[in-house]
A and B are shown apart, each in its own frame.
Chain A
Amino acid sequence: MASVKIPKPLPTLPEDWNSESNFIVHAPLSPAVHRNLSPAGPHFLAHARRKRHSRTFSEDDRIQAQQNVKNVEDEDAGEISEAESPVLLSRDPKDWKNQDHYAVLGLSKYRYKATEEQIKKAHRKKVLKHHPDKKAAVGAVDDDSFFKCIQKAMEILSDPVKRRQFDSVDEGANRDPPSKKSKGNFYKGWGPVFESEGRFSRKQPVPKLGDDKSIKAEVEEFYNFWYNFDSWRTFEYLDEEVPDDNENRDQKRYIQRKNNASRAKRKTEDTARLRKLVDDALSLDTRIKKFREEEKKLRNAKKDAREAEEKRLAEEARIKAEEDKKRKEEEEAREKAQKADSKKAREAAKNAVKKNRRVLKGSVKDVNYFASGDATPAVIDRVLGEVELVISKIDNEDLQTLARNLSGTRGADAIKSTWVEAVGELVKKGNAKVEDFKVFTS
């Protein structure tokens, strides 16, 4: 056997290959499917030679070999095709608009769900049974009416457009909603209704009604879907026939207009019908109430929690306000006290200043204004003038110091030198000029 050349290289051995052996087995092959080889061609005959060796296979071998072989031909349509009722058999083919095409082909169990393949098979089965040439052969009167029904059914069901038009008005596929009074299970009653309505949906798959265990999101999605239903259902199947002659144009146009109007009307009615149906289901759906109650419970729980929190917050605020008030009162008291204190101090300071000034003035008077005899008014004026000047220039602190120094000093010379020193300080600080002083200079 020739080898096939592969254009791509093999991967390099991974670093982590840590097997002793150069061959690792991971899994066996998946099971095989048994099939029939076509017993033709040179390669098969070579295979047969190898397989046979010199053995002879028996009937038992045949049975055994054929046991699990996959069959590629279709099964008989038997199970998908139903027998016809006498009423069906006696149908008038001209009345095809009112014909149940699925029933005619024996597919009433399947209807819109029937696959193309099923339709073909069912049709063939009916043809084999009802072919008029077969009936004529056994001498039956020339009756091909049911065969015509079969052919009409096939014409419609094998054409996707016509089939949709028929499916749109196929009463047989409708499921009536359970009556209002019905005590039956909601899901069993309504599930099939929505399943059958779902056939008209452009969007597929259609969400299922579900059951008690469905969660809120699913139920909401379900009803949302149905309230926004996008339907392909049309009603031209119920059109009044438009005359096929060229003569009566006006009549033709009139019927066409009428048909268009009734299609639109039916569509509107159908939309309303579906809406009401969904409304009804929704009103009966106990899950809605359940979810509402659950929500209410949840909401109540939240409300309680919220109220407790509010209460807690109010209490907190109250306590805080009380504390604030207390603190404020204390503060005010303290401030008041402080204010009182500082007033006293100010008064004291004022008094002190007055007293100090008195000390300052007294100091020069005590030493008779530094005169050796009686001090003349001019001398007194000068000395007091300079004292006043110092008082006006000196700050409180220096004033106090000076007053203290003067009180502790006796004798005119000592007093005078204290003054000279103080004036010197003043001049040094730049608060007074030395020329203004005649007495208190050295």
Chain B
Amino acid sequence: MSGNASPSPPASPEIDDGTKTVIGIAFGNTTSSIAYTTPDGKAEVIANEEGDRQIPSVLSWVGSEEYHGTQAKSHLIRNAKNTVAYFRDFLGKKYSEIDPTNSHNSAHPLDVDGVPSFNLQQADDETVSTVSINEITTRHLIRLRDSASDFLGRKVTGAVITVPTDFSDTQKEALVAAAKAGELEVLQIIHEPVAAVLAYAARRTPEAQGVDRNILVADLGGTRCDAAVVASRGGMYTILATAHDYGLGGLRLDEVLVNHFSKEFIKKHKVDPGNERSLAKLRLEAEGTKRTLSLGTSATISIESLADGYDFHSTINRLRYELSAKKVFDQVVSLVENVVKKAELDLLDIGEVILSGGTSHTPKIASRIAALFPDSVPVNAPATLTTALNPSELSARGAAIQASLIAEFDKEDIEQSTHPAVTVAPHLSHPIGVVIGEDNSFQTILEAQTAVPARRIAQFDVQADGDVIVRICEGIREIVVEKVERQVNVIAEAAIRGAKRGGKVEVTINVGSDLGLNVAARVIGTQIGVRGEVKPEAGSAQ
């Protein structure tokens, strides 16, 4: 495996015939992933040379040799000062804006004219170079790109990269620049929760993708947890709200286990494994134990010479672990509840839940979140749904899907397609529907938060010969035990005369971008029908 440690990539063996080869990159603080789309349109996550699909976002130097991923991560034990980890969120920020907490056990960020930087030994002599966060990011992206190029046998030319929804424009610009410095073109930056939604949507028929619903995406990572409510309307996605917890993630769960095992070790040997190196070992192994606990009901830990020459062997069962981690789980649950509140929705308004990020493998987290919702709401996580995708892969897959969709676009095309004049759209503030049945209940036809222009068609059975009425209304949310939409104001009424029992009435509602409404109702297969128009309120034109 000597090739992995090579400071400069090997002379490129890939074909560079001018064709475009694009990938998706999920760039996390803890891990990164790369994915591509197979010729039959399936997104696949690529394993690097070491066989990792979740590549630790860590770089380390021993002399002039650069290590990346899992190898670099293992250097946190003996080579912490020359190892850079958990750096993604530093990119594009001023030193005063960064939270260095997670760098405590690795190279510390320094303030170099406001730019977060690291003092590292990257040469075989003792010289120390100051490396900016931008340069670190460039190195990381180069290593990811090279791994992908290696696997695909072709030079990767461009990538779609995912970032959290709170990434500022400055951060995005820094990311694009860092990639460019590594000769990687960023085709587009997309938001992690949207990538997760895309990863799931790609498995569905276009028809099923178009089914309107509110999707809650909880991205539970290593250093942070993010949640978003995404309105899916006709296959288009609008983020309604986001929430972030910067102190919550897999590291906190590692810490729970580290504390547990430390106490046990102290009890056994009367020695505190509190020195840096012992703790680093314990952290690394505890993470492995934690992952095992996601699959089995108990896990072992085994560390040679943990402290004072004592070895450490122990077992923990899942229940014990879950008990100790309860506070962390509680915080994840409250993050989820909070984002729904911020979207001004009720938990009952959520139609699907997607759990993304490595920590979503934790069974108790998935079941605690699932318990918030009715059984009819799918909670996509390995522990709650057998058909769930690997939560660690969602961002990269979504990015790869988007990359393949825009692979043939030129720069100008992408710029114009993502221009605010295209992305900003008026969204309905209330659902539009029809009053039906004996109880005059409100049947939604266009959900609230649907971007306009939009069109929806609904079909009703005719139960008896005679005249029927199509009463178009705006609904207001009113939640009683189950989801109920109550009509508030009647927008228009249409009379259909002489319908025959057994017939079908088709109602088409068209909302213009100016909020003008066109309604057509007809009895299918007859000449009977009515059309009408509702002019927009003066001044509400977009």
Chain A contact residues, CB within 8 Å of chain B: 1-14, 17, 19, 22-45, 47-49, 51-52, 56-57, 61-62, 64-66, 69, 72-74, 116-117, 120, 124, 127-129, 131, 133-134, 136-138
Query: Counting CB contacts under 8 A, is B242 at the interface?
Result: yes
Contact of B425 among A35, A72, A138 (CB under 8 A): A35
Instruction: Indicate if the CB atoms of A128 and B96 lie closer than 8 Å.
Output: yes
Instruction: Indicate if the CB atoms of B194 and A13 lie closer than 8 Å.
Output: no
Instruction: Indicate if the CB atoms of A10 and B505 lie closer than 8 Å.
Output: yes
Knowing A3-B506, A36-B423, A120-B245, say if A26 contacts B491 (CB, 8 Å): yes
Knowing A23-B531, A29-B491, A42-B405, say if A61 contacts B421 (CB, 8 Å): yes
Query: Contact flags (1/0) for B86-130 with A, using CB distance below 8 Å?
Result: 000000000111111101100011110000000000000000000
Chain A residues, Cβ within 8 Å of B99: 124, 127-128, 131
Contact of A9 among B237, B418, B461 (CB under 8 A): B461
> 27 A-B pairs, CB-CB below 8 angstroms?
A4-B458, A6-B436, A10-B434, A10-B469, A11-B471, A22-B497, A24-B493, A25-B533, A28-B536, A32-B429, A32-B540, A33-B449, A35-B240, A35-B449, A36-B420, A37-B422, A40-B188, A40-B190, A40-B195, A41-B198, A41-B237, A42-B206, A44-B236, A48-B422, A62-B420, A73-B166, A133-B100
Instruction: Indicate if the CB atoms of A13 and B467 lie closer than 8 Å.
Output: yes
Best-buried of B338, B422, B460 by chain A (most CB within 10 Å): B422
Chain B residues, Cβ within 8 Å of A36: 238-239, 420, 423-424
CB contacts under 8 Å to A, within B428-445, are 428-430, 432, 434-438, 440-441, 443, 445
Chain B residues, Cβ within 8 Å of A29: 428, 430, 432, 474, 491, 511, 515, 517, 534, 536-537, 540
Knowing A27-B490, A37-B237, A40-B402, say if A134 contacts B100 (CB, 8 Å): yes
Query: Counting CB contacts under 8 A, is B416 at the interface?
Result: yes
CB B459 to nearest CB in A, in angstroms, measures 5
Instruction: Indicate if the CB atoms of B489 and A47 lie closer than 8 Å.
Output: no
Chain B residues, Cβ within 8 Å of A49: 417
Knowing A38-B194, A134-B111, say if A4 contacts B457 (CB, 8 Å): yes
Instruction: Indicate if the CB atoms of B469 and A6 lie closer than 8 Å.
Output: no
Nearest B residue to A11, CB-CB? B469
Instruction: Indicate if the CB atoms of B230 and A38 lie closer than 8 Å.
Output: yes
A421 to B532, CA, bound (A): 122
Best-buried of A45, A72, A120 by chain B (most CB within 10 Å): A72
A2 to B210, CA, bound (A): 10
Chain B residues, Cβ within 8 Å of A4: 445, 456-459
Chain B residues, Cβ within 8 Å of A61: 419-421
Query: Counting CB contacts under 8 A, is B180 at the interface?
Result: no
* A4-B459, A40-B190 given; 10 more Cβ-contact pairs under 8 Å: A5-B458, A11-B469, A25-B534, A29-B491, A36-B423, A38-B236, A40-B398, A41-B237, A43-B209, A133-B100
Chain A residues, Cβ within 8 Å of B402: 40-41
Instruction: Indicate if the CB atoms of A17 and B495 lie closer than 8 Å.
Output: yes
CB contacts under 8 Å to A, within B377-428, are 398, 401-402, 405-406, 416-428
Chain B residues, Cβ within 8 Å of A57: 416, 419-422
A22 to B425, CA, bound (A): 33
CB A15 to nearest CB in B, in angstroms, measures 10
CB A120 to nearest CB in B, in angstroms, measures 7
Instruction: Indicate if the CB atoms of B459 and A30 lie closer than 8 Å.
Output: no
Chain B residues, Cβ within 8 Å of A26: 489-493
CB A140 to nearest CB in B, in angstroms, measures 12
CB B209 to nearest CB in A, in angstroms, measures 7
Query: Counting CB contacts under 8 A, is B241 at the interface?
Result: yes
Chain A residues, Cβ within 8 Å of B190: 38-40
Contact of A32 among B109, B426, B435, B493 (CB under 8 A): B426
A23 to B490, CA, bound (A): 13
Nearest A residue to B240, CB-CB? A72
Instruction: Indicate if the CB atoms of A39 and B424 lie closer than 8 Å.
Output: no
A143 to B495, CA, bound (A): 79
CB A5 to nearest CB in B, in angstroms, measures 5
Instruction: Indicate if the CB atoms of A37 and B236 lie closer than 8 Å.
Output: yes
Chain B residues, Cβ within 8 Å of A65: 419-421, 423-424
Knowing A35-B451, A72-B240, A138-B111, say if A28 contacts B537 (CB, 8 Å): yes
Query: Counting CB contacts under 8 A, is B364 at the interface?
Result: no
CB B400 to nearest CB in A, in angstroms, measures 12
Chain B residues, Cβ within 8 Å of A40: 188, 190-191, 194-195, 198, 237, 398, 402
Query: Counting CB contacts under 8 A, is B325 at the interface?
Result: no
Instruction: Indicate if the CB atoms of B436 and A3 lie closer than 8 Å.
Output: no
Contact of B424 among A6, A28, A69 (CB under 8 A): A69
A74 to B194, CA, bound (A): 18
Query: Counting CB contacts under 8 A, is B42 at the interface?
Result: no
CB B331 to nearest CB in A, in angstroms, measures 9
Best-buried of A11, A31, A32, A117 by chain B (most CB within 10 Å): A32
CB B395 to nearest CB in A, in angstroms, measures 12
Chain A residues, Cβ within 8 Å of B496: 10, 13, 22
Nearest A residue to B95, CB-CB? A134
Chain B residues, Cβ within 8 Å of A45: 405-406, 417
Chain A residues, Cβ within 8 Å of B434: 6, 10
Instruction: Indicate if the CB atoms of A11 and B463 lie closer than 8 Å.
Output: no
